[in-house]
């Protein structure tokens, strides 16, 4: 799942990142602190004030992401989804419990999907996005054959189940790398296992 939000949320996230910058580009007068948004400037804030502002912006960004996820999920669900293909499911049963495998659905993105997910998938670098329990794939081939990508996206389904949408949005807004890292780790693990299995099968012939 890529780290892309709605435009409003993106602006909030950019502000949030700017507020967290610690580089001392400006030498601020006594009683003022450096604040960075698009540019850096000195403002009559204390460190405590900046901490409160940082928290407020973080909450706004998380709320925006939460609404984006919920609305996009409903839009995609209304247009029809499918269960995990059986051959994909069989290969991922060692990695996931039945609760995740039964809950997950998928759809292949197309020009008629009127949702933020479809807009996001116009980016050729994005192969799939998980909207709570629905995985939207850019290409039908990935939905049918890319076991490792399924493993990655199913980890996000599991995260939603464990944390709920609000907490997922809060964590993703604060540190999306911490959310994505275990998914990429499992994706690589599954790719390696499939490659080793293919090599083993080839040697046995």
What's the number of domains the chain is made of?
A: 1
Asked, for residue 169, whether it belongs to a domain, the answer is yes
SS3 45: coil
What pLDDT score was predicted for residue 162?
98
Asked, for residue 63, whether it belongs to a domain, the answer is yes
Q: How do beta strands 82-83 and 40-43 pair? A: unpaired
H helical segments located in the chain? 7-19, 47-78, 86-92, 98-103, 116-120, 140-145, 147-163, 165-174, 176-204
Q: How many Cα atoms within 13 Å fall on the side-chain side of residue 159?
A: 25
Q: What's the average pLDDT block by block, 10 residues per block, for the chain (205 residues)?
A: 50 47 56 56 61 64 87 90 97 97 92 51 70 93 97 97 96 88 96 88 75
What pLDDT score was predicted for residue 38?
44
Q: Tokens 């907490």 belong to which residue?
A: 167
Asked, for residue 1, whether it belongs to a domain, the answer is no
Q: pTM above the 0.75 mark?
A: no
Q: In terms of C-beta distances under 8 Å and separation of at least 24 residues, what long-range contacts does 172-177 make, across chains too?
A: 172/3, 172/62, 172/65, 173/9, 173/13, 173/16, 173/58, 173/61, 173/62, 173/65, 174/58, 174/62, 176/3
Asked, for residue 2, whether it belongs to a domain, the answer is no
Tokens of 5: 């939000």
Tokens of 122: 């116009």
Asked, for residue 145, whether it belongs to a domain, the answer is yes
Q: Answer for the pair 165, 70: CB distance below 8 angstroms, yes or no.
A: yes
Asked, for residue 113, whether it belongs to a domain, the answer is yes
What pLDDT score was predicted for residue 32?
66
Q: For residue 55, what are the domain limits? A: 7-204
């Amino acid at each position: 799942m890529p780290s892309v939000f709605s435009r409003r949320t993106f602006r909030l996230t950019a502000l949030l990142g700017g507020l967290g910058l610690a580089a001392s580009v400006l030498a601020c007068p006594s009683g003022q602190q450096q604040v960075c948004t698009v540019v850096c400037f000195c403002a009559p804030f204390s460190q405590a004030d900046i901490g409160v502002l940082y928290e407020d912006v973080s909450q706004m960004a998380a709320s925006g992401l939460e609404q984006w996820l919920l609305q996009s999920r409903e839009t995609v669900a209304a247009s029809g989804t499918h269960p995990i293909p059986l051959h994909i499911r069989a290969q991922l049963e060692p990695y996931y419990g039945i609760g995740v495998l039964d809950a997950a659905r998928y759809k292949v993105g197309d020009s008629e999907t009127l949702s933020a997910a479809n807009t996001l998938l116009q980016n050729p670098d994005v192969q799939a996005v998980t909207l709570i329990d629905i995985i939207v794939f850019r290409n039908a081939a990935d939905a049918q054959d890319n076991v490792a990508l399924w493993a990655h996206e199913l980890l996000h389904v599991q995260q939603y189940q464990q944390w709920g949408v609000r907490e997922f949005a809060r964590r993703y807004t604060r540190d999306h790398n911490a959310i994505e890292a275990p998914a990429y780790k499992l994706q690589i693990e599954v790719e390696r296992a499939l490659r080793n299995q293919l090599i083993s099968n080839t040697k046995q012939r």
